[in-house]
Amino acid sequence: MKITVIGAGNVGATAAQRIAEKELANEVVLIDVVEGMPQGKGLDMYESAPVEDFDSKVIGTNSYDATANSDIILITAGIARKPGMSRDDLQTTNAGIVKSCTEQAVAKSPRAIIVVVSNPLDVMTYVAMKTSGFERNRVIGMAGVLDSARFRSFIAMEMNVSVEDVSAFVLGGHGDTMVPLPRYSTVAGIPLPDLMDQATIDRLVKRTRDGGIEIVNYLKTGSAYYAPSSSAVQMIEAIVKDKKRILPCAAYLQGEYGLKDVYVGVPIKLGKNGMEEIIQIKLTPDEQAALNKSAEDVRANIAKLKL
């Protein structure tokens, strides 16, 4: 197994380290346009191997030649948000970056599965699919896993319980219109509405929607990377190990949930072929309306692109 991580910034480098430590690949290639940065970080990671006990080889490079025949390509490249910026503000700049990265990567690895992390997530995943020409099962966006992890964290903090007992579902686009589903979210199997009042749920839902900018406002010069990298690696692990995990990811819908030709977060089955199935759950009219609104926001942003 060979995995390429495009972008050696905080998200990419942390993801590469997690992939290596979990030994999900024999070879992890970390690539970036900044000369010396991926080489230095890659060597530093590999020097941790004797301490952390992993045998994955980590290679840093500025050339796509080293990425040839990758099984999975993780795209994290792009500029990060700053205070006052929305994810959509990144669109024009990051679309060009993601398009270029995708073109060069798929030329060397035409059979790879692509996982996208770059923001705005749903639009960038669309850019990667259109640029690569790959089938929809091989181009998936990481969003719902992260948003659900944030929702789970906030629920656990609120109730003072272990995160291991908390399950949560967040659908829709990765942005202000994401759709957390409290009635599908549970603590030890107990639905969230049975455990807290609506006002508390609404507060946690809002914090989940604002989860990214909350961290941006603290950091001031960067954005989140520990939780995003963990979320991407969870998806990669499901693919590498053919685990058939059901995870909320950005998928290209072709009629599912009444939506067509748009990337939006929905529960999917992840295995060795990438997205192996879209799981359709029953939504209330209000939930469906919220999902439709989220999808339309993504569609409107896609329409601004010139691909």
- Which CATH number does 2-141 carry? 3.40.50.720
- Going by C-beta distance under 8 Å and a sequence separation of 6 or more, which residues neighbour residue 305? 91, 95, 123, 126, 127
For the segment 256-271, what is each residue's pLDDT rounded down to a tens digit? 999 999 999 999 999 9
Average pLDDT, the chain: 95
Is 174 marked active-site?
A: yes
148, 268 in Cβ contact below 8 A?
A: no
Tokens of 104: 């060069």
- In CATH terms, are 2-141 and 144-303 the same topology? no
**Domain map (residue ranges) of the chain:** 2-141, 144-303
Q: What is the percent of the chain with per-residue pLDDT over 70, rounded to a whole number?
A: 99
Looking at residue 177, what is its pLDDT?
Answer: 87
CATH level 3 topology of 144-303: L-2-Hydroxyisocaproate Dehydrogenase; Chain A, domain 2 (3.90.110)
**Is the pTM higher than 0.85?**
yes
Question: What distances in angstroms separate CA 129 from CA 112, 153, 231, one per listed residue?
Answer: 12, 31, 20
- Checking if the pLDDT of 80 tops 80, the result is no
Distance separating the N- and C-terminal Cα atoms of the chain: 32
Tokens of 290: 């919220």
Distance from C-alpha of 64 to C-alpha of 67, rounded to nearest angstrom: 5
Q: Which of 18, 41, 174, 269 is an active site residue?
A: 174
Winning range, highest mean pLDDT, from 209-218, 219-228, 237-246: 237-246
Least confident of 27-36, 76-85, 257-266: 76-85
Looking at residue 87, what is its pLDDT?
Answer: 65
